Amino acid sequence: MDKTFDQCVIGAGIIGLAIAYSLTRAGQAVLVIDGEGMAEGASGGNAGAIAFADVEPLASISTLLKSPRWLADPLGPLSLPLSHASRMLPWMVRFARACLPDAHAASTKAQAALLMLAKAETEVFFDQAGLAHHLRREGALYLYAGRRAFDAAAGLWRLRAAHGVAFEPVTGPRLAELQSGLGSAYTHAMYVPDWLMVSDPYDITKALGDRAVAEGATFRKARATRLVPQEAGVTIALEDGTSVAARQAIVAAGAWSAALTRQLGDAIPLEGERGYNTTLPPGAFDLRRQLVLAADGYVITPLASGIRVGGAAEFAGLTRAADFRRSAAMLRKSRRVLPGLATEGGRAWMGIRPSLPDTLPVIGRAPASSRVLYAFGHGHLGLTQSVATAQIVRALTLGRQPPIDIHPYRADRF
């Protein structure tokens, strides 16, 4: 491939493809490369929520307080195998620091800014791409097992209200109206009406990549192994021994991004956070909207492909074999939430989220070279923050002012 592209996007998940589509529409010659293919990583198997309400970072005092209980359960919401614990220690120290009041307040402000940009731009973006039919505004129900659990979450909902998130406390007949067939323990809920869902995360991610190609982008199934910035551009070395050239390279390779950033001198503390789910056949339950079980770290989601039960966080690196007992454990718990759920015939899946200790992504130019941009580390919010990230990267690549202050997402903040 002898052509020199304007932009080379490394990674064909929802972040990379949103960037590629946005830049192609701006008249740029864009190459997208990915070693697996479009939508083949975490973007293709997530829970399908565009969660504008999730303004509080996972790096919080509430997460710290829940962590010991979660870790005590071998198949619980949080897992850290002993073989990986020593490697995780620096990351965990940074996570703890990010939970301190001042750091947490700053991260919340930065996460909320990114989410508000996403809220303003997401539906417009997918409508312009001809993909609005993949979006559904059904809202979500945060479920609580009793009044005490509901009251314990009051501080989080006050924080969300302060950032403009609309919600409705529900119980009794109103809760049954929003979702019938709930287990008797789940007596209280918070209904978030502005919660967006997608028909299926794989479908919308792949369709976005196809739209980018239809608009003029080039996709190549290839694995980038090295970036060589030069005065006039970047050479991207590939695993097969060939290389491609571009004026700028955009690293959006999710949990695999750190292998490239380290070569540029940026030791960004990126960890692979593995999530699990099971997708049950369509008709497994009459599920009307996503159910969020925050206390147990998972969600139950209606998708075009079926009912998806999944979540959890397993910090075990990029190469450890999947432990699908975790998927099965969440499926068993879901029967308490929906006693009538048919749990047979499901497909188990594991994907690796790119996780940074303060919960914020890295978005912006590499400190070592203005020819390289970073756009990774979105954790649980890749789909949610994809359009906002694309708007920021588009502005940077075209030499324009980003739509929000990007200082909190800088690569050298660690």
Question: What are the pLDDT digits (tens) for 133-188?
Answer: 999 999 999 999 999 999 999 999 999 999 999 999 999 999 999 999 999 999 99
Q: Over 60: is that where the pLDDT of 1 sits? A: no
Q: Looking at the predicted structure, is the pLDDT value of residue 212 above 60?
A: yes
User: Rounded CA gap, 353 and 139, in Å?
Assistant: 24
Alpha carbon separation from 262 to 57, 205, 234 (Å, rounded)? 25, 28, 16
- Provide the percentage of residues in the chain whose pLDDT is more than 90: 96
Determine the topology of domain 4-44+202-268+359-413 in CATH: FAD/NAD(P)-binding domain (3.50.50)
Domain boundaries, the chain: 4-44+202-268+359-413, 56-98+137-195+270-355
Mean pLDDT of 336-358: 97
Instruction: Indicate whether this model's pTM tops 0.85.
Output: yes
- What is the pairing mode between strands 234-238 and 188-192? unpaired
State the chain's mean pLDDT as an integer: 96
Confidence of residue 121 (pLDDT cuts 50, 70, 90): very high
Please tell me the predicted confidence (pLDDT) of residue 167. Answer: 97
pLDDT band per the 50, 70, 90 thresholds, residue 4: confident
In this predicted structure, the answer to whether residue 402 has a pLDDT above a threshold of 70 is: yes
Query: Domain 56-98+137-195+270-355 sits in which CATH superfamily?
Result: D-Amino Acid Oxidase, subunit A, domain 2 (3.30.9.10)
pLDDT digits (tens, 9 = 90+) for 46-66: 999 999 999 999 999 999 999
d(CA 274, CA 334) in angstroms, rounded, equals: 20
> For helices 101-128 and 14-25, what crossing angle results, to 10°?
50
pLDDT at 3: 75
As a whole number of angstroms, the distance between CA 381 and CA 117 comes to 13
3-class secondary structure, 164: coil
Confidence of residue 74 (pLDDT cuts 50, 70, 90): confident
pLDDT surpasses 50 at 217: yes
- Please give the Cα distance from 250 to 229 (Å, whole number): 12
Alpha carbon distance 193, 190 (integer Å): 10
**pLDDT (0 to 100) of residue 2:** 61
Report pLDDT for 113.
97
